[in-house]
Structures are given as C-alpha cells and as structure tokens.
Amino acid sequence: MDVNIDVINAGTGYGGVAEKLLHNGMNVSSLRTNAVLTYDEWKDIDTVVLQEAHRRLGGVNDLIERGLVRTGGGLGSTVLQWQDASDTDDAEVNMDGVSRSAKDRQEFDTNYLPLPIIHRDFGFSIREIEASRNHNASQPLDLSMAEEASRKVAEKAESVLFNGLSTYSMGSNGGIIYGYTDHPDRNTQTLSQNWDASGKTGQEILTDVITAKQALINDRHYGPFMLYIPTAYESVLDDEFSTQYPRSIRSRLLELEGLQGIKVSDFLTANNIVMVSMQSTVVRMIEGLPLTTVQWETEGGMQVNFKVMTIMVPQIRSTQANRSGIVHIS
C-alpha cells in the first residue's frame, strides 16, 4: 500500500496520464473512459470498490455520517492550511449596555496538513477482458483484485485516522498527519488494569469510561462521544455487568449521557482505547478526492491498468490552550 503525492503527477511509465490530468485541470474523471471497458464493466468495478471500502471504514464512516468532513481541493491541492484561534475575555452583563467590554484580540496560529494520495493498483490484460465478454466461455471478469485494492486503500485511511502518519511530511511547511492515538495534545489516561484481565469488574470498566468522559468535559468538549476499543475487548463488553445489573457491560456503558456508540477497531493495538467528542472543532476528515478508480493502458494497449485512489486525511484539532476532544486510554 502506497501513500504518495508524486506517483500521479510524475506520470512515469503511465503513458499520457500526466498530460491528461494537466490538460483537464487535474480532474481524475479524465482517466475514466469507456474506450476499453463498457459502462456496465465500470459499474461493476465501482460497486465492488465502494462496497469493500465501506465495510472497512469504521471510524472514517463515523465522521462522514456526522458531516465532519471538509471536501474539495482535488489532486491540485497538496497541503491544507488552517488557523487556531485563542480564547477571549467573557462578555459583559449589565442593564444599560453602555459600559465598554474588553477589546482583546484573538491570536492565531497557522497549521499545515499534507494531503497525500492513498492508492493501490490492479489490472487486466485485454485477453482477460475479451474472455469475460465471451458468453460461451462463462468467465466473468474477476474483480477480486479490485476488491483487494479497495480494501487496502480503506484500511490505510482507517489506520491513519487512529494512528496517524507522523513519518510522512511534505516540505518545511508540510506539517504532520496525526491520528487519535498520537496527537500531542490528546488527553491520556492509564488503565489500572486491562479490561480483559482476570478479576476486572464491569464497575471498574464503567469508572474508566466515566473518567475519560470527564476529562473531555474538563477540556470543554461536551459530546456526543464515540468509544473505540481493540478487538480483544469486544467479548469483554458482552459479559454481565453485575449480579445487581444482569445486563451486558456494553449496555451499561451506553446508558452514559452523550455516549452515542461503542465500536471495535482492529487498528487499535492491544489495551488501547479512544474516546472522541464528535465535533468539527475536534476532528474532521479532509476529503480532497473521494474514493475513485482510474484507468490507463501500457504495453501498447495490451495491459489495462487501474488505480483505486483517494485523498482522505484526518485533521485532528486542538485549541491554543492545548485543549483536545480526544482521550487515549492505555
């Protein structure tokens, strides 16, 4: 799985890909053509790609479903620039409105976020395509490679949301791509005992979650909240909470005010838990390019190549006072 900004722009070994993009304002639709594939064949590929991606995009889909997305930019945008503002004094309260309130000015810090392309390739020879159109051969086009490419792209986007991509930067002002578990301003909390440890009670798990929620409230983030747990804790939450409360631990947690859901993420390492206040001031998904499949030919047109690609990068935000709407429990 590659995360690269140059592979499309350079056009190396890709025939006229770079020329097509530059002549069409970097619009990737110029790389989607019916010259080789039929409309129905493209439809089949797109269906497989989108279905598989949706299945693997858990945390990303949570942001999309809540409208926590900033779209636009396309291939021509390589860095997002935004500013964090400081707080100001409180508003005045009086009966006549005559006395002057404070005129303090907000201070702004400029931040930069690189916008790399996440992509994975697959391809068919023209013989495979022709064989799939031969009804007597009964060999429909095998789309397992498209499904695998989509899965890899989706998994990389999901991994970046949870774990960041701190090793990747672009230029002196490229910034760093942080995730839920590595942003420097996130709240951190230490487990006194792992949730799957022998003897760990439902009440102790509830206390851990209440403590995390209070940390977010203390940082002026009031929800709604999502709780993400590693795979090993899925069955733990199905255990009975207590003899006095003969329902699951999960059911008891979901009774907490503001907690909208609990999801398992296989991108969280063992004994790592994340609680997020689902607000645009905490996190947004920057969707420079929605999940797209493009096509080009090589080997004199004998090989048809495809690339599943997206520009999907988390923008983890905090205030100048280092207040964050994320708690990382480990």
Q: What is the mean pLDDT of each run of 10 residues along the chain (330 residues)?
A: 48 54 63 72 89 92 95 80 66 69 64 88 86 71 90 96 83 79 95 93 96 96 96 95 92 96 96 97 93 80 85 90 93
**3-class state of residue 66 by DSSP:** coil
Instruction: Give the pLDDT score at 190.
Output: 96
Shared domain for 205 and 239, answered yes or no, is: yes
Instruction: Give the pLDDT score at 173.
Output: 60
Strands in the chain per DSSP E = 2-4, 69-71, 79-85, 108-114, 117-125, 187-189, 225-229, 259-264, 273-277, 283-298, 303-316, 326-329
Shared domain for 78 and 215, answered yes or no, is: no
**Max Cα separation, the chain?**
88
Strands in 142-271 per DSSP E = 187-189, 225-229, 259-264
In sequence order, the 6+-apart residues with CB closer than 8 A to the CB of 47 are none
Shared domain for 160 and 51, answered yes or no, is: yes
Instruction: Give the pLDDT score at 264.
Output: 96
Q: Which two tokens stand for residue 39?
A: 């409309």
Structural domain includes residue 312? yes
Instruction: Give the pLDDT score at 11.
Output: 42
Q: Are 260 and 224 in contact (CB under 8 A)?
A: yes
Shared domain for 192 and 297, answered yes or no, is: no
Q: Which two tokens stand for residue 238?
A: 């199905």
Shared domain for 216 and 195, answered yes or no, is: yes
Angle at 138 between CA 135 and CA 143, to 5 degrees: 110
Structural domain includes residue 101? no
The CATH number of whichever domain residue 245 belongs to comes to 3.30.2320.10
Shared domain for 81 and 49, answered yes or no, is: yes
Structural domain includes residue 96? no
Q: How far apart are CA 316 and CA 113, in angstroms?
A: 10
Question: Could you tell me the residue range of the domain that residue 198 belongs to?
Answer: 187-280+324-329
Shared domain for 116 and 255, answered yes or no, is: no
Handedness of CA 183, 188, 191, 196 (dihedral sign): negative
Structural domain includes residue 95? no
Shared domain for 69 and 147, answered yes or no, is: yes
Shared domain for 286 and 256, answered yes or no, is: no
Q: How far apart are CA 71 and CA 73, in angstroms?
A: 7
Shared domain for 175 and 311, answered yes or no, is: yes
Q: How many domains does the chain have?
A: 2
Q: How far apart are CA 157 and CA 270, in angstroms?
A: 20
| CA 63 remoteness from chain centre | 8
In sequence order, the 6+-apart residues with CB closer than 8 A to the CB of 114 are 5, 78, 79, 168, 169, 170, 174, 175, 176, 177, 313
Structural domain includes residue 158? yes
The DSSP output letter for 300 is G
Structural domain includes residue 97? no
Shared domain for 293 and 213, answered yes or no, is: no
Instruction: Give the pLDDT score at 321.
Output: 83
The CATH number of whichever domain residue 125 belongs to comes to 3.30.2400.30
Burial of 205 from C-beta contacts in 10 A (0-12 / 13-18 / 19+): buried
Shared domain for 306 and 201, answered yes or no, is: no
**3-class state of residue 174 by DSSP:** coil
